[in-house]
Amino acid sequence: MSASFYEYLRTIQMGESILIEYKPTEPLHMIFNKVLEYAKQNNSKILIIDILDTFHVIKEHLKTCNLDTETLDKLDVIKGGGIINVGHVLKKIDISKEPPIYISEFAKFLEEYYRQNKNVVVVILGADKLTRVYLTEVPTLEMNIGLLLKKFLGNPSRVAIWFVNTGMVPQKLLIEWEEISTRVLEIALKGKKQFVIKIKKSIKIEDHGKEFIVSAEEVLYSEV
């Protein structure tokens, strides 16, 4: 990672909720890998919230590049819906129930997890799909994941990183989501081998609008 982006990441404090926005054609698997790298460098305990098999999609995408997926299999995972187990699955939550029900199940699990584990980086994959499924209701964030977002915001045991495919989420909902988040990062591929990471929102106002270029080189598929 570039030195300045790494310096920026080191300013993240426990209790923060970070939103990572990407478009559907962006290489999600690589962005995820970078986030894992950050968590490991932090010596954090990693917890994956895997909604509707998004973790499986990322793992398969990494496999097509001949990238290592063994570390993924060892990570703690709590599943929301989906049928494919990836990682060390601690609990499965049924998301076909009413949102208030499954939200409270998530909350209960997380409360306990944060009691037993400190310095956690929780990575939430596929929450954007949750918002889509209940779109027949009034599509506010409050209806589904808003409660979760707000409940743990500020909890010093963890940093939460939410991945959002902006194509899947209506603008109004995205705006609410950005409002609750302490930081909003927009990630896009620039050319073929670099990411541009734009800081849309940050704790320090001076960081707003900053852009970092991060090389994708070290995770590149090499031609054999």
Q: Which residues bind another protein (CB under 8 A)?
A: 23-30, 52-53, 56-57, 59-65, 81-84, 96, 129, 132-136, 165-170, 189, 192-193, 216, 220-221, 223
Q: Are 197 and 217 in contact (CB under 8 A)?
A: no
Give me the helices (H) in 22-84, please: 28-41, 54-64, 70-74
Q: Which is nearer to another protein, 81 or 146 (CB)?
A: 81
Q: Which is nearer to another protein, 125 or 148 (CB)?
A: 125
Separation between Cα atoms, residue 180 and residue 17, nearest integer Å: 8
Q: Structure tokens of 218?
A: 């070290």
Strand residue runs (E) in 81-127 = 88-93, 120-125
Q: Which is nearer to another protein, 13 or 215 (CB)?
A: 215
Least CB distance to another protein at residue 132 (A): 5
Least CB distance to another protein at residue 91 (A): 18
Q: Which is nearer to another protein, 206 or 217 (CB)?
A: 217
Q: H or E element: which one contains 162?
A: strand 158-165
Least CB distance to another protein at residue 169 (A): 8
* DSSP class of 15: T
Q: Which is nearer to another protein, 199 or 216 (CB)?
A: 216
Q: Which is nearer to another protein, 43 or 136 (CB)?
A: 136
Least CB distance to another protein at residue 107 (A): 23
Q: H or E element: which one contains 180?
A: helix 171-180
Angle value at C-alpha 197, between 191 and 203, nearest 5 degrees: 170
Q: Roughly how many angstroms between the first and final C-alpha of the chain, as a whole number? A: 25
Least CB distance to another protein at residue 59 (A): 8
Pick the closest to residue 99 from 62, 136, 44 (CA basis). Answer: 136
Least CB distance to another protein at residue 24 (A): 4
Separation between Cα atoms, residue 112 and residue 101, nearest integer Å: 17
